[in-house]
Amino acid sequence: MTKTLAEAGAYADALRSAVETGSVPPEVRLFVLPAATTLAAVRDRLAGTGVALGAQNAHPGPEGAVTGEVSMTMVRDAGASIVEIGHAERRTLFAETDDMVADKVAAAVTAGLTPLVCVGETSTERARGETEDVLAHQVRSALSRLGSSRPVELLVAYEPHWAIGAGGRAAVPDEVAEGLAAVRSALAKDLAGTPTAVLYGGSVHPGNAADLVTGLDVAGLFVGRAAWTAPGLLDLARRCADALGERTTPDLVSAIVRKDPR
């Protein structure tokens, strides 16, 4: 819940300018997920830049009497190609359940959107040794209502709740690796054949981004605060591209994803 139209427009203009002046590393693909009120304006400013655009949430149902909500079709109409589903704040502040996440994933696919499914354990669940089970359940549940339909691509962000936001503690690589492994394992069982990129998010900052993309089996980063300014996002993109160097070909920074989703 940040950025007015003017602020989001200025952010998008800065990204456009960076693309046009060649200061976005070509091997890094960027996506941004602005507030729903600014989607269309950001779409217009980013047209032709290659920066992907998504919504932070949408309702799973069709058009109708659901006051205050916007549908998958509506966010797609406003320019989104990605929709974020099940962010920790949605789950905690708005009581979004695994069932609701599953409905949203299915609705996103029907609407032709790429779901970006957020999964993550709480600090209590981690302390109880439940991380693997919680993540496996969240991943499988999120995909459980797809039926025979499959997304063209799927993004999954591992975001431990305790690592997110102002009160968050940056996860150490071993903790991230454990979560990523659990997510991958659940995906392997449920969605073989769908190009899937597993991202990491939670207190990513200029000091840890390079280590996260090079030291872990992660396809990209999902960044909040450190990417709230365009220079912040571009700095992370540059750091990741430099760190990855010749070793790999990256593909999505508010996310950074390699072209070979793993």
Ligand X SMILES: O=C[C@H](O)COP(=O)(O)O
Active site members: 87, 159
Min CB(64)–ligand X separation in Å: 29
Site for ligand X in 188-207 (CB under 6 A): 201-204
**Choice from 160, 224, 232, 261 touching ligand X (CB under 6 A):** 224
Instruction: Confirm or reject binding of residue 3 to ligand X (CB under 6 A).
Output: no
Which residue, judged by CB position, is nearest to ligand X in the bound state?
Answer: 224
The residues, any chain, with a CB within 8 Å of residue 148's CB and separated by 6 or more, are none
CB–CB of 22/45 below 8 Å?
no
From 96, 103, 121, 159, residue interacting with ligand X (rule: CB under 6 A): 159
Q: How far apart are CA 112 and CA 72, in angstroms?
A: 9
Task: List all residues 6 or more positions away from 77 whose beta carbon is below 8 Å from its beta carbon.
Answer: none
**Does the protein bind ligand X through residue 121 (CB under 6 A)?**
no
209 interacts with ligand X by CB under 6 A: no
Q: In which element (H, E) is residue 85 found?
A: strand 82-85
Q: DSSP letter for 13, please.
A: H
Find the binder of ligand X among 43, 137, 150, 225 (CB under 6 A). 225
Separation between Cα atoms, residue 40 and residue 96, nearest integer Å: 26
168 near ligand X, judged by CB under 6 A: yes
Closest approach of Cβ 169 to ligand X, in Å?
A: 10
Are the beta carbons of 203 and 171 closer than 8 angstroms? yes
By CB under 6 A, the residues from 71 to 110 that bind ligand X are none
Using the rule CB under 6 A, is 164 a contact of ligand X?
A: yes
Size of the site for ligand X (CB under 6 A): 13
Shortest separation between residue 204's beta carbon and ligand X, angstroms: 5
Instruction: Write down the least CB distance from residue 128 to ligand X, Å.
Output: 22
Q: Which is nearer to ligand X, 168 or 195 (CB)?
A: 168
HEC readout, 136-196? HHHHHHHCCCCCCCCCCCEEEEECCHHHCCCCCCCCCHHHHHHHHHHHHHHHHHHCCCCCE
Closer by beta carbon to ligand X, 108 or else 116: 116
Cβ 59 to ligand X, closest distance in Å?
19
Query: By CB under 6 A, is residue 150 in contact with ligand X?
Result: no
Q: Give me the helices (H) in the chain, please.
A: 5-20, 39-46, 72-77, 88-93, 98-110, 123-127, 131-142, 173-190, 209-215, 230-244
* Contact footprint for ligand X (CB under 6 A): 159, 164-165, 168, 201-204, 222-226
